[in-house]
Amino acid sequence: MTTTTAPATTATLVTQGTRRPGQTRSRRRVEPIYYLFLVPTLILFTLAITLPAVIGIFFSFTDSIGLGEWKFIGLTNYLALWQDPLVVQSYLFTFGFSVVTVILVNIIALLLAVALTSQIRLKTPLRTIFVIPMVISAIVISFVFKFLFSNSLPAFADFTGIAWLQESILANPDWAWVAIVIVTAWQAIPGALLIYIAGILSIPGEVYEAADIDGASKVQQLTRITVPLMFGYIVINVILGFKGFLNAYDVIKGLTGGGPGTSTYSIAMTVVSGLTTGDYAYQMANATVFFVITVLIAIVQLSITRGRNAL
């Protein structure tokens, strides 16, 4: 026996969730529990970050030393920044150090990610080992490497007769930055490595199987398949790494303290040291300029990654 189903009426369709053209969706009621999580977070964020930032920007236009009386002096602090050799040198060092470290970290992390996602034995334990530096305190790492650069490496150089390594590179103004790059990269590579591993695992295996059938070598697969398909991941790692290295402080403080002299002073170290020497308003201007630069970098990140579906 054949049965037929009567066409659904308009009322039935609306009841089942189908709306007529032009019919607007009713505004969903926000559950009060959401405000329970949102409001305290907004209050804490405002009191701990937004309010101090606004106060700092305000005092950057004054001659305040951090307490007592003050008066407005306009853009004097901002104009003086570019005539201060220490500030200019700290910006040059920080940006140069950041560029070199970003390149080194991403090259090594990408190559390690390719190796740790290939058909090798013990790749899971190796992934765990390579991630360990990420969970160790930066100041602890810097003290350990300071001992290595100041004692172990010169002793090894004495034993092997390598003259140019017999003196600690931390005491050499021309080479101290190399030690900072090495230690910073050693700690930063695991974070980039995890992102690259996730990116490689998201690439369908059929792509590599087709490349094998066509006779593509492993190098060709890396340069023509892996890197292009992971461009979004590379951009994210480069931008996040660059912004993170611009804030370098712990490693530099532990390794060189900004020395020899002021050759390895970073922007963050300049700001912090100025706050302890009565240059509060002046260094607030410096911090404001630095904040604007980081915002511009974030805007660049959004413009580059907009429209990309890599992540």
Give the global pTM: 0.81
Q: What is the pLDDT of residue 89?
A: 93
Domain limits, the chain: 77-305
Contact 283, 86 (CB under 8 A): no
Nearest to 244 by CA among 97, 46, 42: 97
What is the arithmetic mean of pLDDT over 139-163? 89
- The confidence band for 78, taking pLDDT boundaries of 50, 70 and 90, is very high
Residue 14 has pLDDT above 60, yes or no: no
Residue 245 has pLDDT above 80, yes or no: yes
- The confidence band for 235, taking pLDDT boundaries of 50, 70 and 90, is confident
Q: What is the pLDDT of residue 11?
A: 45
Q: What is the pLDDT of residue 28?
A: 72
Q: What is the pLDDT of residue 21?
A: 52
- The confidence band for 299, taking pLDDT boundaries of 50, 70 and 90, is confident
Mean pLDDT of the chain: 84
What is the arithmetic mean of pLDDT over 73-93? 92
Contact 72, 62 (CB under 8 A): yes
Residue 17 has pLDDT above 60, yes or no: no
- One-letter-per-residue 3-state SS of the chain: CCCCCCCCCHHHHHHCCCCCCCCCCCCCCCCHHHHHHHHHHHHHHHHHHHHHHHHHHHHCCECCCCCCCCCECCCHHHHHHCCCHHHHHHHHHHHHHHHHHHHHHHHHHHHHHHHHCCCCCCHHHHHHHHHHHHHCCHHHHHHHHHHHHHHHHHHHHHHHCCHHHCCCHHHCCCCHHHHHHHHHHHHHHHHHHHHHHHHHHCCCHHHHHHHHHCCCCHHHHHHHHHHHHCHHHHHHHHHHHHHHHHCCCHHHHHHCCCCCCCCCCCHHHHHHHHHCCCCHHHHHHHHHHHHHHHHHHHHHHHHHHCCCCCC
What is the arithmetic mean of pLDDT over 121-144? 84
pLDDT tens figures, 157-174: 888 888 888 888 898 888
Q: What is the pLDDT of residue 25?
A: 53
Share of the chain above pLDDT 90, in %: 38
Q: What is the pLDDT of residue 275?
A: 76
Q: What is the pLDDT of residue 196?
A: 93
What is the arithmetic mean of pLDDT over 24-42? 78
What is the arithmetic mean of pLDDT over 169-186? 92
What superfamily would CATH give domain 77-305?
MetI-like (1.10.3720.10)
Q: Which of 76-80, 163-167, 286-290, 304-308 has the lowest mean pLDDT?
A: 304-308
Q: What is the pLDDT of residue 282?
A: 92
Q: What is the pLDDT of residue 161?
A: 83
Q: What is the pLDDT of residue 266?
A: 92
